[in-house]
Amino acid sequence: MFSIGQFSRITGLTVKTIRLYHEKGVLRPAWIDDETGYRYFDRSDVERARVVCRLRELDFPLAEIRDLLAADDDADEAGILPLLERQRERIQERQSGLTRIAASLDEVIAREREAFAMVEQDGFEVEVKELAPVKVAGFRWEGGYAETGKALGQVCRRYGRYTRGKPFNLYYDVDVKDEGADIESCVPVDKAPEAEGFEVHTLPGGRCVSLIHKGPYQEIHRTWARVMAYVQEQGWTATLPYREIYLKGPGMIFKGNPRNYLTEVQILVEEEAVATGPR
């Protein structure tokens, strides 16, 4: 009989691992001293440990090794062969999945590098300016941000001939929501009739922190970060709703190049006696 220390030396397994394998039912000691609780192993356990180590190297989970050994302790190579083949198939599937993930990561890294370069080269700076009150026709809705284009399209189709400027969204939530975001899609108008489901009203003016974002909408969070940081640096308080004005985006037929989209982010702040001007 071998003590657990001797068994550790013979098999190359740590004592901690041997105890774990015992708890999981993978390695069973030949004898356990009732008084001391010490585990003792014999030569057959050494061979069993060799099989377990080999299966672990092949990435078999412990539960499957336990079931395999429990089902047939005398399993020959032919009995184990189907299990090895299935394990190989699983590893191949995993490898294919990892290859796809690696390719996706390459795309993400490329986009991130491009986005950082665009931020450094866009030439736009944070501005503080005064906004005049503006009359708008709006459609207020709740949903996901991906539905923005559809909502703006509804407003533009209904009030297209009354429009006096670029379309924009008002965001009534401080935070970003996975669903159920409170959004109003608007167009500035001069005179426009009321219509069911739409509201014609006047947005208040005030002091505004503004920055133009150049690039895809998916990258606009960087622009929001710059604007928010500027507001905090000045010690101001941002007020809702936040605004995104779509200066240049996809057309009705052609989407154009998203890298050339222009979106102005605006946050109104509580009025204070501060100097205005570009940063």
pLDDT category, 154, cuts 50, 70, 90?
Answer: very high
Nearest to 31 by CA among 47, 45, 20: 45
Name which residue leads in pLDDT, 158 or 279: 158
- DSSP percent split of the chain into helix, strand, coil, nearest 5: 45, 25, 30
**Integer Cα distance of 41 and 58 in angstroms:** 24
**16-70 residue pLDDT tens:** 999 999 998 888 888 898 888 899 998 888 888 888 888 888 888 888 888 777 7
Dihedral Cα 14, 15, 21, 24, nearest 10 deg: -140
**Integer Cα distance of 234 and 253 in angstroms:** 42
What is the bridge-based pairing of β-strands 134-143 and 168-171?
unpaired
For residue 252, the model assigns a pLDDT of 52
- Reduce the DSSP state of residue 271 to 3 states and report it: coil
Name which residue leads in pLDDT, 252 or 163: 163
**238-274 residue pLDDT tens:** 999 999 999 988 765 556 788 888 999 999 998 554 4
**167-211 residue pLDDT tens:** 999 999 998 888 899 999 999 998 889 899 999 999 999 999 999
For the chain, list the strands marked E by DSSP. Answer: 2-3, 31-32, 39-41, 127-131, 134-143, 168-171, 181-188, 199-203, 206-214, 238-248, 262-269
CB atoms within 10 A of CB 27: 24
Kindly list the distances between the CA atom of residue 146 and the CA atoms of 31, 131, 275, in Å, as whole numbers in the listed order: 65, 28, 37
Q: What is the 3-state secondary structure (H, E, C) of 110-128?
A: HHHHHHHHHHHHCCCCCEE
For residue 275, the model assigns a pLDDT of 45
Q: Could you tell me the domains of the chain?
A: 2-75 (1.10.1660.10), 127-269 (3.20.80.10)
Mean pLDDT value across residues 10-14: 88
**Integer Cα distance of 247 and 260 in angstroms:** 11
**67-122 residue pLDDT tens:** 777 755 544 545 566 766 777 888 888 888 888 888 888 877 876 676 566 555 56
* Residue carrying structure tokens 């039912």: 25
Element spanning 20, H or E: helix 15-23
For residue 90, the model assigns a pLDDT of 80
**pLDDT over 50 at 278, yes or no:** no
Q: What is the pTM of this model?
A: 0.57
For residue 276, the model assigns a pLDDT of 46
Q: How far apart are the first and last CA of the chain?
A: 80
